[in-house]
Structure 1
Amino acid sequence: MNLLFSLCVLCVTFRGLCEGAGVLVDDLLNAPVGGKVIFTTTLTPPVTITFLLWTFNHDNIITFNEPMNTTTPGYEGRITLFISSGSLELRNLSLNDSGDYAVTISATKAHTGSTKLRIYEPLSNVTITTSSPDLVEFNSSFRLSCSSSGSSLSFYWLNGSSEVTASDRVQLTGGGSNLTISNVTRYDQGTFRCHVVNPVSNGTSDPVHLSVSFGPENTSLNLSPTEHYYEDGSNVSLTCSAVSRPPAHFQWIGDKLSGSGPKLTLLNINMNQTGNYSCQAFNNITMRNQTSQPAFISVLKRISGASVKSTTNQAVEGNSVNLTCEAAGPVFSRQWMKDGSYLIPTDNMTLNSEGSVLSFQPLKKTHSGEYSCRIMNPINSVEADYTLVVNYGPESLQITGPREINVKHTLTLTCSADSTPSATYTWLLNTREILSNSAVFTKDVTEFSDSGSYTCTATNYVTRRTTAHVLFVTGNEM
């Protein structure tokens, strides 16, 4: 009987996925140490087999020659022959069972086949060791080494759920068991695991968390409340923040303050504390520091005691007068109003550059009115009022009454003039004073002697100005 043998080419690493050579189903079988394997033929039971021979690396394992079979020493109790199909089961596998298996079967016709068996030690104890627990961004490199018992091991690295692949900074050496990342960044940190496989088993290490220290950066200083100006006596909280791992330590910088920590509260601040404030963030792992941009705190007092004062108590038309707007505290601006409307200076009215002095050169009677000055800073505003009375006159003096009158009738003459304050009046007949302190002259019963030149003199005691008007009256006989 001719024995036919053929060599099978490797197809896949798991049983049952490709055809074996000749009468055998599989051309390659993988099995673990201590496990079992079945070499399956393509023959469909029942088959009448008259002769069968199984060999391992060309050495006989079992021979069947109807009606007897012979098992090679060392295989007793480890093999079972299925004579209905010629298949063979091999148990209690060891690494020494790896090799080439072949079968020759004689039934209605001759069948031969061959396959390969690979025995692997199952993996266990997958562990990671690391060389660099403390990592500083841009300054450090780290190496992770994966180890496992077992045979024919393949290594894969995971960061979270993503597989780690080689790049300019990432190196995989030692068959993938060593992972090295140089010049680490914060984006390299994470939870690393090593996944190990061989054809008969797989396993994953416990996770190793690597943290990369970085910063501080983006150091900033915030004020609460946020104001352009703070009132004297108020409280201000300063908070310093930075992007840093581990969290940064903070130191406050400035001549007017001291302390550490991310928050500083200034209580009952005063104007002497006006100035720039900043903080410095420090990372005690990276040994780096960064100082914030300065924040300017301006402290102001409230304005109080507003007043408007004049350079004279008696303003007279034609003279010059200054109204001065004053207050205690820091003044930022002033706003003048007259009679409830915003003041628009005219040609003979000026404001100095600070708006504190309103000048009239010269005064006009139309300048009389209610003046108010609002004094402002960002904290508050106050207002002061002043009534400006422009004294003028007397002017437009006139006498009303008859120029002719019958004797024995009543003569009434009235004198009037524009004047502030009101003028006082004196009456003369020809050159003789006949009445004072009255605007009206009355003669109940006239005589011819009442004819003549009537003069009314008006006097303003403030302006110290006097004017006169003359009326000629003639008496007629009834």
Structure 2
Amino acid sequence: MAKCSVRSRHSTAMVKITSFVSAFHLFTVCGAVTLATPKTTQVTVGEQVLFHVNIQGGDSYDVTFHSKNPNTLIAVWTINNTVNLKSAHLLYVGRVQWNESGSVVLYNVQVKDSRKYKIEINYQSTGLKNNDEASFELRVFEPVSQLAVKIIDDCTTPNIILNCSTSKGTNVTFHWRKESLSGAIDSAFNGTQLVIDLGNEEEQQVYRCIAENPVSNAKSDPVRPEPCHRNKNGLFWIILLGLIPAVLVWVYYSIISTKAGRATQEHSEHPDALSNGFVEPTYITLLNPRRTSE
């Protein structure tokens, strides 16, 4: 006889299940196993879940384990002093097993295993009622991974945007917590993004992103945003990039003006020449020519 501890999500107490089983069966139900209840049971990806049903004590009965929405026949066992697996769905081969304590064990649960389940017991012995059944609802979640916070600041406004994200997690909710430097929590904000108007901040604050789902939570490192004008290097490059176009335009017009001045000066210093190299003559007409003496 051996006793195995099974975790229950709906109670702080440990549920003790006693069974006369082989060492192999003991190995499958001992360890990180969560006991499913008729209410919704929430577990983490990779855990083992135990679906328990009360057996009247007959030596011969059939066990049918299936899911709802969609309706899927997962496995059927015949119990007659020994456990005989009659059929199993291909997606559950190696992941589902009947334990003689009166439980179905589902191994390595995944997010896609989130659904309703039902166990039916059909007795073959006379003198017992025809069947027993038990229903369960299972919800599987991937835990939240480490958080990443990105600061978005284009230096055109006093506003700074904090963006929080996680690479893993199922049904994750995000919220921000605003803290003073003394550690006091001032307020909280929901959502992955937080817009901060640093122009209205009376004192320097730090912010933390918190992400959580029903089975896990994660917290970012404290973020202390600063307005853009405090970053001298960033301001220098902004000014420099703004001056470059103006300088290029000034240089361009200076070159054009210099070339035009030189062309005007050369034209005034040198008379016009004909294409054959001779200088074009200039004729002067006198309006009142003097008479020659007779």
Q: TM-score, normalised by structure 1?
A: 0.34
Paired residues of 2:153 and 2:161 also in contact (CA < 8 A): yes
2:103 is equivalent to residue 103 of structure 1: no
Partners of 1:93 and 1:202 in 2: CA distance: 20
Match in the other structure for 2:46: 34
Instruction: Pick closer, same or farther for the CA change 1:187–1:25 going to 2, 3 Å.
Output: same
Q: TM-score, normalised by structure 2?
A: 0.53
- Whose Rg is larger? 1
1:153 corresponds, among 141, 149, 172, to 172
Match in the other structure for 1:88: 104
User: Would you tell me which structure has more strand in proportion to its own residues?
Assistant: 1
2:74 is equivalent to residue 61 of structure 1: yes
Match in the other structure for 1:412: none
SS of residue matched to 1:210: coil
Deviations 1:157-178, CA, capped at 9 Å, x for gaps: 1223526335xxxxx4xxx111
State the shift of 1:124 in Å.
Answer: 1.0
Paired residues of 1:54 and 1:104 also in contact (CA < 8 A): yes
Deviations 1:61-86, CA, capped at 9 Å, x for gaps: 1212233332413322212212332x
Paired residues of 1:37 and 1:90 also in contact (CA < 8 A): yes
SS of residue matched to 1:115: strand
Instruction: Pick closer, same or farther for the CA change 1:16–1:26 going to 2, 3 Å.
Output: farther
Task: State the identity as a percent.
Answer: 26
Partners of 1:130 and 1:45 in 2: CA distance: 63
Match in the other structure for 2:252: none
User: Would you tell me which structure has more helix in proportion to its own residues?
Assistant: 2
SS of residue matched to 1:77: coil
| Greater RCO, CA 8 A, separation 6+ | 2
Partners of 1:84 and 1:100 in 2: CA distance: 22
Partners of 2:140 and 2:112 in 1: CA distance: 8
Partners of 2:60 and 2:200 in 1: CA distance: 70
1:180-329 equivalences under 5 Å are 180-182=195-197, 184-187=199-202, 189-211=204-226
Match in the other structure for 1:25: 37
Paired residues of 2:47 and 2:108 also in contact (CA < 8 A): yes
Match in the other structure for 2:142: 121
State the shift of 1:25 in Å.
Answer: 2.7
Give the gaps of 5 or more residues in structure 1: 1-13, 18-23, 167-171, 215-244, 247-478
Matched letter for residue 59 of structure 1: T
2:159 corresponds, among 126, 141, 160, to 141
Matched letter for residue 178 of structure 2: N
RMSD: 3.3
Paired residues of 2:198 and 2:227 also in contact (CA < 8 A): no
Paired residues of 1:196 and 1:204 also in contact (CA < 8 A): yes
Instruction: Pick closer, same or farther for the CA change 1:189–1:111 going to 2, 3 Å.
Output: farther
Instruction: Pick closer, same or farther for the CA change 1:66–1:80 going to 2, 3 Å.
Output: closer
Count of matched residue positions in the alignment of Structure 1 and Structure 2 = 185
Instruction: Pick closer, same or farther for the CA change 1:159–1:71 going to 2, 3 Å.
Output: farther
Partners of 1:210 and 1:55 in 2: CA distance: 54
Paired residues of 2:38 and 2:134 also in contact (CA < 8 A): no
Partners of 1:156 and 1:70 in 2: CA distance: 50
Deviations 1:36-82, CA, capped at 9 Å, x for gaps: 222233x2796756122110232111212233332413322212212
Partners of 2:136 and 2:186 in 1: CA distance: 35
Paired residues of 1:98 and 1:119 also in contact (CA < 8 A): yes
